[in-house]
Amino acid sequence: MSEAKVVELYPDIAEAPRYSCALAGAYVTALAVNHTAPILHSGAGCGIGQQFGMNYAGGMNAAGRHGNTSTPCSCLVEEHVVFGGEEKLRDLIASTLKVVKADLFAVISGCVPSLIGDDVAAVVKEFKDQTNIIHVHTAGFLGNSYLGYDHFFAAVVDQLLTPLPKKKKLVNIFGLVPSQHIQWKGHLRVIKALLAKIGVEANILFTELDGLGALKQIPAAELNLVFSPWVGITVVEKLKEKFETPYEVIPFVPVGPQDTTSFLRQIGQLLHIPQKTVETVVKTEEWDAYNTAEYFGDLLVIGLPNAYFGVIADSGTAIGLTRYGTNEIGLLPELVIVSDNPPEESRENITRLLTEGLASSIKPKVIFETDSHKIKLILQKHTLQLLLASSLEKHLPRGDAGFLSVSFPSFDRLVLDRSYAGYRGGLAFMEDAGSQFCGPL
Amino acid sequence: MSNSEASEPIDLTTSSCPNREQRANGVNVFYGKATEMVATARAGKLKHQERAFQQTSGCILNFYLTVRVSTIRDAVMIVHAPVGCSSSALGYRELFKGIPKGLGGLPDEFEFHWLTTNLNERDVVYGAADKLKAAIHEAQNRYNPKAIFIMASCTSGVIGEDIDGVVADTQPEVSATIVPVHCEGTKSRLVQTGYDVFWHAVLKYLVKPARKKQPDLVNIASMLSYTWQDRMEITRLLGKVGLRVSFIPEFATIEQFEQLSEAAVTAPMCPSYTDYLSRGLEQEHNVPFFLYPSPIGIAHTDEWLRTIAKYTGKEKEVEALIAEEHVEWVPKLESIQKEFKELAPEGDKLDVLGSLGQGRLLTQTPFFNELGVKATAAIVQDFDNLVLDEMDKMIAETGDFDVLVNTFQAAEVAHIAKNRAPDIVLSCPFQGSAYKRDKGMTRIHALRGDPREWSTQAGYKGAVAAGNFLLQSTKNKSFQQTMKANTEETYTEWWFKKAKPVYLKEEAA
């Protein structure tokens, strides 16, 4: 067998793939729910490693009050591999309840307990009458951090939620994975504010003052929205099954006025919001966004007129930015590399969303790739004038192309509140992309 | 030279080294006086105590071998693990790219490469030896490196992967030297074991017998916590007396590893980090070493240079160098000392709490002394019997102090910071909420790729730069005060009222 064929047997061998493991995804998701303390049942490095691998990679964020080295961990070593880690976990949970302030404790089990067969669920159950506690059954080898997001919510749905009467015009927001979507905090705030304008209450789950309360309210929603072509769909399926909540997949976070307006109209129809209410908001917001966009005119025309641009990002971010750049500011979509390794069955739809409904006479080449070396080789075949990518591409030779990091990992920018979502998100994108071409004219 | 009672001879016929617990009776939990800790260790009575409450703190793979090994220039790192075990290395392409071109001899072009075998559910059931083999071939074909490092993981260990077997099978098929590093995370409680397993692999697979000695070459193992400017300062100082430095492992070439045997001496930046390599090079290749002091602070830089001079025959040149450097730097240090004195209460000194590695304990504490601040307590990642004589020397310089041994236990750090209330807490991203306070707070150090002169710590220039940033922390406390006033505390009142800053299993029972 030739060496090339040997490698094809193992397509998951990759240079610097753009995500961490399922435990990491579950961990950062738990951290995003305010007043939730994750408890890692794992090796000692599984939490701290994600400080570099998720929190810094997701826009140089510190980990908050319960993350990084503030996270309790059973720190499993050889003796636990031999004798089991359940006693260690039991002691850790008991001590954590005394030492750490939190409303919800999420025990997240990693590779070692899975491999040695610890009955983690049984240990967690012993504490159910003392506090709010769930067991997120995951492991690094089960998949990547996007899957870990689903694992966290699977635990929430199965172990924490009970039926509630439906509340009109309340929706839950799923599909944005903390850190993996580097603008997750800003996106969620924008989505919440946009929906509020048309009278819809969005439960964004993360960064809410009462995190546990937000989780518990999930069954009360009239509708679940998933802002991804693929992440979070198992969660809303589960919620449909258990609480009969319908869901709608909004495959990408809308960037700029056009797609934001379409989004609001879609929600208006789904939730039977009077058309007038929606159109009043649309009119005001569009006027404001386009009026401000006029101030971008000179820099755009001189600095990047009809620039050939490339996008390397997770599927949702890639679709949103490709559409905005192409349909609103006249850029030419040359290349899109989808870097979040979406499941095969979702790829045709993602490709369609990236190539249809574009204002340009050219359509982008769409490639699904997460191996950073292969991405480098693909880039060498394209001449670009603007590259929207991860910071892994920042220092690659790229000719004349301007560069902006928009996807995971982005170590080169601090992302706290920044968002390209919504009407004003287009303006934020103009500022960040346009600033790459600034200088005295 | 260190004459610690530790250390059996290094046995390179074994696939890996013993962990620090076995090799040096190492622990990462202790609270008491430094003298008591040293005496207990010397009596062989320092023992592990199980914590009831413990926090994530790094494993031997992920503190931070992944990051270090990924920056070896003509090598490829393969992490034989689930994908999350290498995510900390995702910054590999950027780590050294913030350095202006040419600064400190930064080459124009360099690339790093690493692969993950991305172990999945099928692999843990059926084994992944073939996958590892495929990854080695992939690394060879893609990058044509001089060496391929294979990093083991908890998962590869628990499922019983025969990494050495794969290496033996595959080595004849590839030109790169394959270097298996047995850094299974479950192997040790002490992240410092990670240093040793890496050096074991380097000594066993990469270091070649000396073709000819290079009497002007000094080996220095540099840590991630020393910056590009530190390398430049050390290169500058040794360059002035006609010596060259080989910094390993970060940003090194494989040729540098191969020639470690040819150097005149192995000198420390961090003794705990360098220990195993230094002993191995002496035992196998007759390269002498010393572990104390490190070139931190003016007095210790003097002594460090003098010690290197002994092994390189540069005594005269080094004395001239020291005299010349003192003219420039000592007055600057004196003005910092004067300012610290003015800031302190009459007849006293500002109290600084640092969280340090065992190595930095030995380097930083005397430096505080030199600056004219005091460290009445220190938080130390780990402690073992490798550095007992060095501890004695240091305590003789600084006097006794309290020690809390823990590896990044943020709750313990918060406890001791709050209850001791020192004037300045030296923080880092691994200290949790301890930075939220009314008094001073600043960073303990900058990191590897930081090219700013401000971030120098080593040598004469570093003594002044580090003194200055410590001084800066006394001039505005608004950030930590604002965060303390406006954000919530992670830990309970019960925790902060607890007498000792550790919560052991025996107490909880």
CATH topology (fold) of A22-159: Rossmann fold (3.40.50)
**Contacting residues of B for A111, CB less than 8 Å apart:** 82, 124, 154-155, 158
Looking at residue B8, what is its pLDDT?
A: 83
One-letter amino acid for residue B94 of the chain: E
* CB atoms B82 and A412 under 8 Å: no
Three-state secondary structure of chain A: CCHHHHHHCCCCCEECCCCCEHHHHHHHHHHHCCCEEEEEECCCHHHHHHHHHHHHCECCCCCCCCCHHHCEECCCCHHHHHHCCHHHHHHHHHHHHHHECCCEEEEEECHHHHHHCCCHHHHHHCCCCCCCEEEEECCHHHCEHHHHHHHHHHHHHHHCCCCCCCCCCEEEEECCCECCECCHHHHHHHHHHHHHHCCCEEECCCCCCCHHHHHHCHHHCCEEEECCCCCCHHHHHHHHHHHCCCEEECCCCCECHHHHHHHHHHHHHHCCCCHHHHHHHHHHHHHHHHHHHHHHHHHHHHHCCCCEEEEEECHHHHHHHHHHHHHCCCCEEEEEEECCCCCHHHHHHHHHHHHCCCCCCCCCEEEECCCHHHHHHHHHCCCCCEEEECHHHCCCCCCCCEEEECCCCECCCCCCCCCCCHHHHHHHHHHHHHHHHCCCC
Helix (H) or strand (E) holding B130: helix B129-143
* CB atoms B492 and A73 under 8 Å: no
Nearest CA-CA distance, residue A83 and chain B, Å: 13
Chain B residues 464-503 within an 8 A CB cutoff of chain A: 487-492, 494-495, 503
Q: Where are the domains of chain A?
A: 22-159, 170-270, 289-437
Chain A residues 130-149 within an 8 A CB cutoff of chain B: 139-145
* CB atoms A92 and B54 under 8 Å: yes
Q: Which of A40, A111, A142 sits opposite B56 (nearest CB)?
A: A40
Beta-sheet pairing, B30-33 with B402-405: antiparallel
Helix (H) or strand (E) holding B220: strand B217-222
Q: Which of A10, A17, A392 sits opposite B134 (nearest CB)?
A: A10
A190 within 8 A of A425, measured Cβ to Cβ: yes
Nearest CA-CA distance, residue A31 and chain B, Å: 13
Looking at residue A2, what is its pLDDT?
A: 44
Residue whose C-alpha is closest to residue B296's, from B245, B230, B251, B246: B230
Looking at residue B475, what is its pLDDT?
A: 96
Q: What is the pLDDT along chain A (441 residues), one digit of tens a residue?
A: 444 555 578 999 999 999 999 999 999 999 999 999 999 999 999 999 999 999 999 999 999 999 999 999 999 999 999 999 999 999 999 999 999 999 999 999 999 999 999 999 999 999 999 999 999 999 999 999 999 999 999 999 999 999 999 999 999 999 999 999 999 999 999 999 999 999 999 999 999 999 999 999 999 999 999 999 999 999 999 999 999 999 999 999 999 999 999 999 999 999 999 999 999 999 999 999 999 999 999 999 999 999 999 999 999 999 999 999 999 999 999 999 999 999 999 999 999 999 999 999 999 999 999 999 999 999 999 999 999 999 999 999 998 899 999 999 999 999 999 999 999 999 999 999 999 999 887
A91-100, B199-208, B382-391, B479-488, range with the lowest pLDDT: B382-391
In the numeric block, the tokens 């707070």 are attached to B441
* CB atoms A112 and B158 under 8 Å: yes
Q: Is B57 on the interface with A (CB under 8 A)?
A: yes
* CB atoms A49 and B85 under 8 Å: yes
* CB atoms B92 and A16 under 8 Å: yes
Tokens of A388: 């929207």
A317 within 8 A of A179, measured Cβ to Cβ: no
Indicate yes or no: pTM above 0.95: yes
pLDDT-based confidence at residue B41 (cuts at 50, 70, 90): very high
SS3 of B341, please? helix
Looking at residue A223, what is its pLDDT?
A: 98
**Contacting residues of B for A145, CB less than 8 Å apart:** 84
Q: Is residue B49 over pLDDT 50?
A: yes
Q: Is residue B387 over pLDDT 90?
A: no
* CB atoms A46 and B135 under 8 Å: no
Kindly indicate whether the domain formed by A289-437 is annotated with CATH number 3.40.50.1980: yes
A339 within 8 A of A329, measured Cβ to Cβ: no
Taking the CB of residue A355, how many other CB atoms lie within 10 A of it?
Answer: 15
Q: What's the complex ipTM?
A: 0.96
CATH assignment of B65-187, among 3.40.50.1980, 3.40.190.10, 3.90.950.20, 3.40.50.720 = 3.40.50.1980
Describe chain B by its helix, strand, coil percentages, rounded to 5: 50, 15, 40
**Contacting residues of A for B483, CB less than 8 Å apart:** none
CATH topology (fold) of A170-270: Rossmann fold (3.40.50)
Q: In what order do the strands lie in the sheet with A332-338?
A: A365-368, A332-338, A308-313, A386-389, A402-405
Rounded to the nearest integer, the mean pLDDT of chain B is 94
- CATH 3.40.50.1980, chain B: domain bounds: 65-187, 331-508
Looking at residue A140, what is its pLDDT?
A: 97
pLDDT-based confidence at residue B2 (cuts at 50, 70, 90): very low
Nearest CA-CA distance, residue A169 and chain B, Å: 32
Residue-wise burial string across B94-129, b where 16 or more C-beta atoms lie within 10 A, e elsewhere:
bbbbebeeeeeebeeeeebbbbbbbbbeebbeeebb
CATH assignment of B331-508, among 3.40.50.1980, 1.10.3720.10, 3.20.20.70, 3.90.950.10 = 3.40.50.1980
